[in-house]
Structure 1
Amino acid sequence: MKTEQANDSPLLQAIREQIEMQPGRAISFRDYMDLCLYHPSLGYYMNSNRKIGRAGDFYTSASVGSVLGDMLAAYLRSFAETRSGDICLTEWGGGDGTLARQMLDAIRSGSPALYARLRFISIEKSPVHRSLQSEALAPHMGACELPHSRGVARGRPLAQYACFVQRAAGRLSGVPDRKP
């Protein structure tokens, strides 16, 4: 039984089609949100409309100032003090790259030695946001990798790019990523 109505939006029609194709006529909340946000032509994050800031639909802390980026940079500096070697920082779904740029700017200006050993990786599904991140992070491209989120980046599975966190002795601490 089709429940489509003439005034359904194209996205609602796509969601209904997905539901109709399932044996139980249901999709998971995860699949529903994936369609709403990342449907190739209809998803919210897949179009070029401005989403963040005065011209967008919502604000983020990074869109109104650099306080969060500065705080993350300060935390990373204290985290890195007790570690040697390269530091890998991975961001999943970093939007337009504003927060990453603010954090990397603060690290580069306040801790050049840490900046030299930092590797920042952004995993972003939206081609629109990947393009915006490329622009925002251009001054930091020596420290950044912006792989496509199609499962493999630079010949490695994306899972190898993940930085892990564990709870140890009642506080959170980072666990270095595994090398291939």
Structure 2
Amino acid sequence: MEKYMKQLIMNSPDQKISFCEYMEAVLYTPEIGYYMRSREKIGREGDFYTSVNVGDVFGRVLAKWFAYLIKEYNLPPTIIEIGSGDGKLAYDILHYWKEKEIQLFDCVEYRLVDRSLDHQQRQKERLMAFPQVSFGGVLEQYSELNGIVFSNELFDALPVHSIEKQNREMLEVFVTIKNEMLIEIKSPLRNDKIISYLESQNICLKEGQRMEIPLQMVELYQNLASRIQSGLLVTIDYGYTDEEWRQPIHCQGSLRGYYQHRMVRNVLEHPGKMDLTSHIHFDCLRREGVKYGFVEEDFLQQQAFLVKAGIMDELEEDNGLDPFSETAKRNRAIRSLLVGGYSEYFRVLVQSKGLMNG
């Protein structure tokens, strides 16, 4: 990857690339990008954990909630998971329905969309027992979508541009090479799309403030929203509201790397071997939804959403004699999702279009 990055930069205008181009290369270059390589990325053997890795509780709660929505609003029994990773969440949802919602299980269509060929292969191996599952790499294979479209920690993994305000001037942060090392350089902001985003979102940086600009997030959301004819669009991710972005604690932005379960602030380290992520702009998605005819149904912290969706019903009586019993492990998983290390900035945004009560 280091050799590929040097060639990419040396062949670019002014021998520099935007942070968006850097992230696109180190995360998504076929076969050598972080998400495209055949290796464990999530869990103990990977670089980070998600809510999905805390047992099967997260998937069971979503499955129960999805079943309620399909019945309550007469939705077609179709689930479309965007950015579906290794397929564990789909497995947990379908396994719950096979146990508890057999009629829904028999008629549901579950579509997975993920651009990583490695992820697609893992999905197929994990979900081979479920014939109602289909696999794909691009959203464009579906001209229109009806049902429940959802993502879990998708938008935070998309490449972003990075900007900063210094001496009253707006600058864009680029990546170049000096003494064989990847380094940052800054140039006056000239990207019209970034400027348009700042204007449309009414963003005005303070002196010394840095911020990530999620143009790919907006493009993907618009692509999704334009294809949904009726149903629900559910976004589960971590991010800030406009008010939170203005807080001094966030003045250096949110772009981070995760390498072997360690947070790395220098995102130019370990190219292709480290996960890169940034907090998303939730209020932007809320405004975009209105443009596409969506109604906001809920916007909650993840913990509050899980309680509302029935996670407490998953708790079971436990005599405490065996800490490794399935009951004990599930109860611990519930506690970790509600009071553990999962940030208050994990949110669930629920938007609807054309819903009718059953």
TM > 0.5: yes
Larger RCO (alpha carbons 8 Å, 6+ apart): 2
| TM superposition shift of 1:73 | 0.6
Instruction: Mark the structure with the bigger radius of gyration.
Output: 2
| Bigger shift: residues 43-52 or 54-63 | 54-63
Aligned to 1:174: 352
CA RMSD after TM alignment: 2.8
Aligned to 2:45: 55
1:1-180 aligned within 5 A: 11-23=1-13, 25-84=15-74, 86-141=76-131, 143-149=132-138, 153=141, 156=142, 163=228, 165=233, 167-168=294-295, 171=298, 172-175=350-353
Indicate if the aligned counterparts of 1:87 and 1:118 stay in contact, CA closer than 8 A: yes
Alignment CA distance shift 1:94-1:85 (3 Å): closer
| TM superposition shift of 1:108 | 2.4
User: What is the TM-score of this pair, normalised by structure 1?
Assistant: 0.74
User: What is the TM-score of this pair, normalised by structure 2?
Assistant: 0.40
Q: Work out the number of aligned pairs and report it.
A: 162
Alignment CA distance shift 1:72-1:170 (3 Å): closer
| Bigger shift: residues 13-22 or 114-123 | 13-22
**C-alpha separation in 2, matches of 1:169 and 1:146:** 29
The one-letter code of the counterpart of 2:96 is A
Alignment CA distance shift 1:24-1:174 (3 Å): farther
| TM superposition shift of 1:26 | 4.1
Greater fraction strand = 2
| 1:139-177 superposed Cα distances (whole Å, 9 cap, x missing partner) | 212x2110233x654xx559689656355265434347x
Indicate if the aligned counterparts of 1:86 and 1:117 stay in contact, CA closer than 8 A: no
Greater fraction helix = 1
**C-alpha separation in 1, matches of 2:84 and 2:296:** 30
Alignment CA distance shift 1:170-1:135 (3 Å): closer
**C-alpha separation in 1, matches of 2:78 and 2:9:** 40
Indicate if the aligned counterparts of 2:116 and 2:137 stay in contact, CA closer than 8 A: no
The one-letter code of the counterpart of 1:120 is Y
Alignment CA distance shift 1:26-1:114 (3 Å): farther
Alignment CA distance shift 1:169-1:121 (3 Å): closer
Indicate if the aligned counterparts of 2:85 and 2:119 stay in contact, CA closer than 8 A: yes
| TM superposition shift of 1:133 | 0.1
Indicate if the aligned counterparts of 2:69 and 2:75 stay in contact, CA closer than 8 A: no
| TM superposition shift of 1:82 | 1.9
The sequence identity of aligned pairs, in percent, is 28
| TM superposition shift of 1:96 | 1.0
Aligned to 1:6: none
Indicate if the aligned counterparts of 1:80 and 1:114 stay in contact, CA closer than 8 A: no
**C-alpha separation in 2, matches of 1:157 and 1:19:** 36
